[in-house]
Chains A and B, each alone.
Chain A
């Protein structure tokens, strides 16, 4: 599904801002292309994460979507990444919603909301990348000092 040039996370947030601010007529006129672009930007965000973690982003599909396959790849062994599981699914949902009825009067609104969801994914992953040195960016994170955990400290108590 990925098409065109790959975008950085900052470029994704800039582009989603443009889409959110576009006129209703402009969004309606290119709804199918924007649906694909939003999905591609979601993929770009996860590619950036996987590459930063030294992984080769999968080309496989999950439920028909590379975005969902890459999310599963990123969450494997890193459960904190599941914090954006539903966000990825919302990106797919909005893509399908727009693609299913591009002429619908509600489609420009769905495009804007889809762009906001993609922006959230970009902010979340961008934040995780920035905060890497602080430990996982997550309320349910793994131990910061994984190797030291449990035995020594519980024994000390």
Chain B
């Protein structure tokens, strides 16, 4: 029952992407949480997690930047912070791991925290979870199925997790613990949630494959080819929709779908939607409420045909 579930009220770390290109993910995550009676309290004065850019220059500074967000959560009285973006989720988990295993990271974090004038985060105080963990644990499939108003029945979905949700495995000690836990080899939490909403998940062999996100701008052709292969494989698997749970992957899939048609003359029809948008519409929220109009790819006609939005 809902009363027994954890994560009903958690600190929320949207991260930079969800305030810009991934705003639709932000809006739909908040809307789904509200609809399901979950409380998200945004971190005060949060900062960038260090993303790819800082980490590529100095990983210890990235660890500090992520640790600062965890210290804010602790100061606000939370023991759990939810990060919907794979990059943020990965970086906060990595900071937690590094601060538990690397003395140099501990030293740099303490030094920079002192200079910045805030509490030094100590590992073990705050748990970082993904939006998938949040919905799976705080609500669960049974309750989601009970709350569905517009079933996704008949919608064939390829669930795409990207490569950072499960990698590297050592920073996710809670995964691969057997039944009920997430798998790093074949993640299934998004599959479980959308199946509870009525979707028909297809077998998709590239669910954790690289989308080329890191080189979306510096080497666009490689990214376009990788994305095109993901899109065509999803279609070959029978998918009408690719569900995403990462703003970088989502934006990359959408933009390179357009670029593949323009540059390579390869048109694909598979729709790209955040899993929170699909879940929100299944729960009875309008397409506008879950910000479908903010997506680059236009799936509104498709959604209307499916009786959603």
Give Cα A138–Cα B215 distance, bound, in whole angstroms. Answer: 8
Task: Give which listed residue, A84, A90, A135, A143, contacts B58 with CB less than 8 A.
Answer: A143
- By a beta-carbon cutoff of 8 Å, the part of chain A in contact with chain B is 20, 79, 82-87, 89-90, 93-94, 109, 112-113, 116-117, 119-120, 123-124, 126-127, 130-131, 134-135, 137-145, 149-150, 153-154, 157
Task: Give which listed residue, B58, B104, B111, B168, contacts A140 with CB less than 8 A.
Answer: B168
Judged by a CB distance under 8 angstroms, whether B237 is at the interface is yes
- By a beta-carbon cutoff of 8 Å, the part of chain B in contact with chain A is 52, 55-61, 64, 87, 90, 104, 108, 111-112, 115, 163-164, 167-168, 185-186, 205-206, 208-210, 212-215, 218-219, 222-223, 225-226, 229-230, 232-233, 236-237, 248
B222, A123: Cβ atoms closer than 8 Å: yes
Task: Give which listed residue, B60, B87, B185, B237, contacts A139 with CB less than 8 A.
Answer: B87
Assuming the contacts A90-B206, A116-B206, A131-B218, asked whether A154 and B90 have C-beta atoms less than 8 A apart, the reply is no
B57, A145: Cβ atoms closer than 8 Å: yes
Give Cα A141–Cα B56 distance, bound, in whole angstroms. Answer: 6
Assuming the contacts A83-B210, A145-B57, asked whether A120 and B226 have C-beta atoms less than 8 A apart, the reply is yes
Q: Which A residue's beta carbon lies closest to that of B166? A: A86
Task: Give which listed residue, A79, A84, A120, A134, contacts B219 with CB less than 8 A.
Answer: A134
Give Cα A150–Cα B55 distance, bound, in whole angstroms. Answer: 10
Give Cα A150–Cα B64 distance, bound, in whole angstroms. Answer: 11
Q: Which B residue's beta carbon lies closest to that of A82? A: B167
26 CB < 8 A contacts A-B: A86-B185, A112-B236, A113-B205, A116-B206, A116-B232, A116-B233, A116-B236, A120-B206, A120-B229, A120-B233, A123-B229, A126-B222, A127-B215, A134-B218, A137-B215, A137-B222, A139-B90, A140-B55, A140-B163, A140-B164, A141-B52, A141-B214, A142-B56, A143-B57, A150-B108, A154-B112
